[in-house]
Structure 1
Amino acid sequence: MDFKSITVAGSGVLGYQIAFQAAYHGFIVTVYDINDEVLAKAKTKFTTLGEAFKQDLHATQEQIDATFKNLSYSSDLAEAVKDADLLIEAVPENPEIKTDFYHKLAQAAPEKTVFATNSSTLLPSQFAEATGRPEKFVALHFANEIWKHNTGEVMRHPATSDEVFNSVIQFAKAIGMVALPIYKEQPGYIVNSLLVPLLDAAVNLWINGVSDIETIDKTWMVATGAPVGPFGILDVVGITTAYNINKMEAEETQDPLKIKAVEKLKEDYIDKGKLGVSTGEGFYQYPNPAYQDKDFLK
């Protein structure tokens, strides 16, 4: 299968990055979203992203101009997918919204179109039936700031055809990703299956009073050579995400430690608007967090 024309459904945090990344690598990309107002916001974000590509990837102005030429926009689903070889779905992480979207998409998309979900918390088999083409459906998951953290996790579900699975792996490579094949459905894929327990353990050590935030991060950085520790990572991911994960676990397990973590994250961080890198302060202050200080690891 040779993908040339790509449609990205949803221009939120990851959607617009995926669209720009694919267009930068020469693919013809249509960005679909629910209305023109949302798409107008995406266009503004693309301009900022162009500057990031120049800074981080040393992209030339010519390359950025070519990227913009490869991008078009539509709030009409049938129009947006009429030529699509591959549709990447990046709509909100809500099972009902996604199911409803796939029902509509199944009616609108040509038979040739392969569907890929960018969901990080939901499994493709949950939506396989709704797609109307389970054999042409996979998960394709990216990390935030995909031009720098260029993992492309490709996860099949039991009905995915080998041809589709392999084609999406090739596509991930073609847009500059390190393609990571996942042969069996796994909540959290590989990255989060490794990362979430680390972040969880760090929060537990802190809430339990075992050690302080900077010492925990320093330990991880010195012992493993990692450029950032778990709390630095949480600032990038966003403290709201940590709060939501802990809240879910607290409700399920009634673990006193989890309940305490939820209260502390809410009172000391979320209520004070300290949400991480995005707000300039979280566990650290930005743009110059303490863990980047040359003496931090001493």
Structure 2
Amino acid sequence: MAELTNVTVIGSGVLGSQIAFQAAYFGKTVTVYDISEEIVSKLPAKWERLSALYVRDMAATPEQLAAATSRLSGTTDLAAALADADIVIEAVPENLELKKKVWAQIGEVAPEKTIFCINSSTLLPSDIAEATGHPERFLALHFANEVWRNNTGEVMGHAGTDPAAVDAVLAFAEQIGMVAIHIQKEQAGYILNSLLVPFLTAASHLWVNDIAQAEEIDKTWRTATGSPLGPFQILDHVGMETYYQINMNAGTEESRRVAERVKREYIDQGHMGRSSGQGFYTYE
């Protein structure tokens, strides 16, 4: 397959905006699609915020950042966003029915050349592949939050994925500065979240059952292990919406209680995690 140059990102939330900026920084032409003009109008502010982080963490120059920003555009027109896409990366909330709906819409209008990638934290490609209408071109490319620093790109197909599509996405991940990780068969949670989610779940259950406050749980983990972040600091990076969806879909009583408390105490108050300046902790 030809090099994947024209990138469409579906959804401009925490990870969607990061994926778009990372791809543009490494020379790709990127179109970001979202559902309203109000959301799209906020993209320049996100590029400004990310630019500051790239200066801090990657010693990015003004010239590099200007070039990256020039390669980014936003739209509410799905057909226009996909018109010349070599690869589309979906980053909408972690809800199976929503993702199926979005992928059915993408599959109807995307060019025949387009490779389809889901950036899901927990869902399998085979859960959604048929909804696209093009299952042979569908696979997962999973990013960790703060993609420019925590730069794993987990590539996972399903039984019907064309191996050439897997190879193309592995190459693409490397081209945009990721460490490409090939997952050889489907695994819920991939590698990263197969390790991370049980850890965060254990911390969440301690919290929702009032065993200890989030700060004390974090302090225990950092002190005893030497880790730089505790579980609730990590969750602030993940974002409250993703945290809520994962717990709502977990199917246990404790996880449902976690989701309800997160919605009541954080999401309903506009405290979405580090991206909004307030989550379990307050950020500048």
TM-score (normalizing by structure 1): 0.81
Structure 1 pair 265/85, CA: closer, same or farther in 2 (3 Å)?
A: closer
Deviation of 1:37 after TM superposition, in Å, equals 3.2
Going from structure 1 to structure 2, the CA distance change for 1:212 and 1:161 (only over 3 Å counts) comes to same
| Residue number in structure 2 paired with 1:160 | 161
Structure 1: how far apart are the matches of 2:15 and 2:193?
16
Bigger Cα displacement from structure 2, 100-109 vs 188-197:
100-109
Instruction: Rate the CA distance shift 1:13–1:82 in 2: closer, same or farther, 3 A.
Output: same
Q: Equivalents in 2 of 1:96, 1:265: separation in Å?
A: 22
Alignment partner of 1:120 is 2:121: yes
Q: Report the counterpart of residue 148 of structure 2 in structure 1.
A: 147
5 Å matches for 1:72-111?
72-111=73-112
Matches within 5 A, 1:1-298: 1=1, 2-205=3-206, 213=214, 216-238=217-239, 242=243, 245=246, 252-254=251-253, 276-278=273-275, 280=277, 282-286=279-283
Between 1 and 2, higher relative CO (CA 8 Å, sep ≥ 6) is seen in: 2
Aligned to 1:292: none
Unaligned runs of at least 5 residues, structure 1: 288-298
Instruction: Give the secondary structure class of the aligned counterpart of 1:20.
Output: helix
Q: Give the 3 Å change call, closer, same or farther, for CA 228–30 of structure 1 in structure 2.
A: same
Cα distance in 1, alignment partners of residues 149 and 264 from structure 2: 33
Deviations 1:38-68 (A, max 9, x none): 2211222112212221222111010011112
Identity %: 54
Which SS does the other structure have where 2:148 is aligned?
coil
Normalising by structure 2, we get a TM-score of: 0.84
Specify whether residues 170 and 207 from structure 1 end up closer, same or farther in structure 2 by C-alpha distance, changes over 3 A only: same
Is the alpha carbon distance of 1:263 and 1:24 closer, same or farther for their aligned partners in structure 2, counting shifts above 3 Å? closer
More deviation in 43-52 or 233-242?
233-242
Q: Structure 2: how far apart are the matches of 1:37 and 1:286? A: 24
Cα distance change, pair 260–59 in 1 and its aligned pair in 2 (3 A): closer
Code of the aligned partner of 1:131: T
Instruction: Specify whether residues 215 and 141 from structure 1 end up closer, same or farther in structure 2 by C-alpha distance, changes over 3 A only.
Output: same
1-structure distance, mates of 2:258, 2:34: 36
Change (3 A) 1:139 1:215: same
- AA at the equivalent of 1:82: A
* 2:74 aligned counterpart, secondary structure: strand
**CA 1:238–1:13: 2 relative to 1, 3 Å:** closer
Could you say if the C-alpha distance between residues 243 and 7 of structure 1 is closer, same or farther in structure 2, counting changes exceeding 3 Å?
Answer: closer
Number of residues of Structure 1 aligned to a counterpart in Structure 2:
283
Q: Contact 2:7–2:87 at 8 Å: present in 1 too?
A: yes
CA contact (8 A) 2:14 2:275 kept: no
Alpha-carbon distance in structure 1 between the residues aligned to 2:52 and 2:63:
12
Cα separation, partners in 2 of 1:34 and 1:260, compared to 1, 3 Å: closer
Alpha-carbon distance, 1:189 to partner: 1.6
